[in-house]
């Protein structure tokens, strides 16, 4: 059975990713570092178990 493929990218279109299979976990972080990096109230972080390609 072939793993599902998930694709996405940033809103500006500057980066795209393709991930084979679901991430191990996803969480929202509200720390000050993540707020500074994203310019938002929180950042969404995911840990892929399998290959994840960025373009
Ligand atoms: Zn954080």
Domain locations along the chain = 5-54
What is the full DSSP assignment across 1-55? -PPPEEEEE-TTSS-EEEEES-EEEEEEE-SHHHHHHHTSS-EEEEEESS-EEE-
Residues with C-beta atoms within 5 A of ion ligand 1: 29, 31, 34
pLDDT in tens, 13-30: 898 988 888 888 889 999
pLDDT beyond 90 at 54 = no
**What is the distance in A from the centroid of ligand 1 to the CA of 44?**
9
**What is the distance in A from the centroid of ligand 1 to the CA of 45?**
9
Q: Tell me, what's the pLDDT at 1?
A: 61
**What is the distance in A from the centroid of ligand 1 to the CA of 31?**
4
């Amino acid at each position: 059975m072939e793993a599902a493929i998930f694709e996405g990218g940033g809103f500006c279109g500057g980066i795209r990713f393709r991930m084979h299979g679901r991430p191990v976990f996803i969480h929202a972080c509200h720390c000050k570092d993540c707020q500074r990096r994203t310019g938002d109230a929180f950042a969404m972080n995911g840990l892929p178990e399998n290959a994840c390609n960025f373009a």
